[in-house]
Amino acid sequence: MSKDRTIPGAPPAGAVFGGGRAVAASRLPSAPRERKPALAALAVLLILAGALATMLLVTQSGHRVSVVRVGGATIAAESTLTAGEFVETSVAQDNDIKYIPWDQVGSLNKRVTYNTLVKGSLLTSDMLTDQSAVPTGVAPGSTLMGVQIKQGHYPTGQMYAGDKFTLYAQTTTPGPNGQGTTTAWAELGTVTLVTRDNAETLTATVAVPSDKVLAIANASDLMLTKTSG
């Protein structure tokens, strides 16, 4: 005689729920997610540091100062200066170059320049100095003038005050009936370096033969070369 082994309270054999689908086992409770506050704080610090670095770069690259530039006419050596001969311009700040600040332009009135000041050049205190301050070895009668020479047109490496270079000037001549142009390089002689900056486009004060000043000022491009030995 068979015994009924049905467990009291259990659903009858063959009972189904939900249209024939077996009852799924209950899920075990999942463990709560572990929070990592240290990593979150580190991420916030990195974001803030990046933002601060960006702000510093923008601020430094945009730090410009107003300085004095020679106006539209070249000023001959031994001339008495007036403030009206100069104009204001802005340049990136460089503590290695002794620019004349624009707020000091009034101090140039009635001052005598010992050097030719080429039109468009940035005025530095070295360009206003007496010839006695020029480095030893500069030929008598030389004129101090400011020049700008682009990268690749001057020797790399150390360049010191008193070093001598050969200066070349490029001139551009219109062709016949205005058709095209012709460019040519011409040697203008030996110049002596007085001061320079460290920018890629070299800004320097050089002592040049006085009779070459206008040729240098009117050149479309300049180049310095140095012979070793």
Over residues 146-179, the pLDDT tens digits come to 888 888 898 887 788 888 899 999 988 777 776 7
Instruction: Say if CB 192 and CB 137 are below 8 A apart.
Output: yes
Looking at every residue in the chain, the average pLDDT score rounds to: 75
pTM listed for this prediction: 0.45
Q: Where are the domains of the chain?
A: 64-225
How confident is residue 224, by pLDDT bands cut at 50, 70 and 90? very high
CATH code that applies to domain 64-225: 3.90.1210.10
pLDDT of residue 20: 47
Confidence check: pLDDT of 6 > 50: yes
Q: What share of the chain has pLDDT > 90, as a percent?
A: 7
Q: Does 100 or 53 have the greater pLDDT score? A: 100
User: Rounded to an integer, what distance in angstroms lies between the CA atom of residue 189 and that of residue 209?
Assistant: 8
pLDDT of residue 88: 92
Cβ count within 10 A of residue 217: 18
User: Rounded to an integer, what distance in angstroms lies between the CA atom of residue 197 and that of residue 99?
Assistant: 11
pLDDT of residue 102: 92
Over residues 165-223, the pLDDT tens digits come to 999 999 887 777 767 778 889 998 888 888 887 777 888 888 888 888 888 888 889 99
User: Rounded to an integer, what distance in angstroms lies between the CA atom of residue 159 and that of residue 168?
Assistant: 17
